[in-house]
Structure 1
Amino acid sequence: MTAEEARTLWERTKALKPVVDSCRAETDMERRLPDPIAAAFMDLDLYRLILPKDLGGQGVDPLTAFDMTEEVAYYDGSVGWNFAIGANSGMIAGQLPPETVASVFGTRQAAVAGSGPPQGRAVAVAGGYRVTGRFAWASGIHQAQWVMGGCFVHDGDERRVGPHGGPVVIHVLAPRADATVIDSWHTGGMRGTGSTEFDLEDVFVPDSHAFMMFGAAPKHSDPVYRLPTSFFGFGLTAVPLGIARAAKDGLAQLAVTKVPAPPRPGLRDQQHVQYVVAKADAMVEAARLAVRNAFSSMWAEVRKDGATMESRARLRRASVHAVETAIEAVGMCYRAAGGAAVFESHPFERALRDVNATGGHVVYQRAMMEDAGRVALGLPPLLPMF
Structure 2
Amino acid sequence: MPDQAVPDTDYTLSPADAALIRSQARPSEQAGMLTAPVQELIHARDWLRMLAPRSVGGAELPLPQAVRLEEAIAAADGSTGWTVTLCAGAAWFAGFLPPAYAREVMATRGLCLGGSGAPSGHADVDGDGYRLTGRWDFATGAPMTTHFTMNAILRRDGQPLLDEAGAPRMRAFIVPASDVTVHENWHTIGQKATASHTFSLEGVFAGAHQAFDLTPEGAVAEGPLYRFPFLSLAFVTLGANMAGMAANFIGLARDVIGQRRHHVTRQPLAELPQVASALADGPAELAQLREHFYALLDRMWDQVCRREQVLEADIRNLHEVALRMVQAARRAVDELYPLCGLSACDGRSEIGRVWRDLHTATQHALLLPFAA
| TM-score after normalising by structure 2 | 0.92
Is the Cα contact below 8 Å between 1:330 and 1:351 reproduced in 2?
no
TM-score (norm 1): 0.89
Question: What residue is the counterpart of 2:270 in the other structure?
Answer: 268
Aligned to 2:301: 299
- Structure 2 match to 1:239: 241
Instruction: Flag the structure with more relative contact order, 1 or 2, with Cα contacts below 8 A and sequence separation at least 6.
Output: 2
Shift of 1:349: 2.4
The 1-side partners of 2:87 and 2:175 are apart by: 17
Distance (whole Å) between structure 2 residues aligned to residue 314 and residue 127 of structure 1: 42
Shift of 1:67: 1.2
Where 1:198 maps in the other structure, the secondary structure is strand
Counterpart contact for 2:227–2:304, Cα < 8 Å: yes
Give distance in 2, aligned partners of 1:170 and 1:307. 25
Secondary structure of the structure 1 residue equivalent to 2:118: strand
Which segment drifts farther, 155-164 or 333-342? 333-342
1:47–1:108 contact (8 Å) kept in structure 2: no
Give the AA of the match of 1:142.
Answer: P
| Partner SS for 1:124 | strand
Q: Is the 8 A contact 1:276 1:332 kept in 2?
A: yes
Q: Could you say which residue in structure 2 is the equivalent of 1:29?
A: 30
- May I ask how many residue pairs the two structures share in their alignment? 366
Which letter maps to 1:117? A
On the 8 A contact 1:135/1:198 being kept in 2, the answer is yes
Tell me the residue number matched to 1:287: 289
Q: What does 1:250-269 correspond to in 2, within 5 Å?
A: 250-259=252-261, 263-269=265-271
Please give the residue correspondences for 1:76-155 in structure 2 after superposition, counting only pairs within 5 Å: 76-107=77-108, 109-155=110-156
Conservation of the 8 A alpha-carbon contact between 2:250 and 2:283:
yes
Higher deviation after alignment, 139-148 or 248-257? 248-257
What amino acid is aligned across from residue 278 of structure 2 in structure 1? V
What is the SS of the residue equivalent to 1:110? coil
CA distance in 1, matches of 2:17, 2:281: 29
Q: Structure 2: how far apart are the matches of 1:314 and 1:102?
A: 35
Structure 1 residues not aligned, in runs of 5+: 370-386
Structure 2: which amino acid aligns with 1:352?
Answer: W
Alignment of 1:1-386 (within 5 A): 5-6=9-10, 9-10=11-12, 13-107=14-108, 109-214=110-215, 216-229=217-230, 230-259=232-261, 263-303=265-305, 304-344=307-347, 346-369=349-372
Shift of the 5–214 alpha-carbon distance from structure 1 to 2, 3 Å rule, reads: closer
Deviates more, 1:201-210 or 1:43-52: 43-52
SS of equivalent to 2:122? strand
Give 4+ residue runs of structure 1 displaced > 6 Å after superposition.
1-4
Q: Give the aligned CA root-mean-square deviation in angstroms.
A: 2.1
Q: Deviations over 1:329-362 (max 9, x none)?
A: 1101212223332224544322332222222112
Contact 1:240–1:355 (Cα < 8 Å) also in 2: yes
Following superposition, the deviation at residue 286 of structure 1 comes to: 1.5
- How far has the Cα of 1:61 moved from its partner? 1.2
Query: Match of 1:71, SS?
Result: helix
- SS of the residue 1:15 aligns to: helix
CA distance in 1, matches of 2:23, 2:145: 22
Q: Which amino acid aligns with 2:282?
A: A
Cα distance in structure 1, aligned partners of 2:296 and 2:129: 39
Alignment gaps of 5+ in structure 2: none
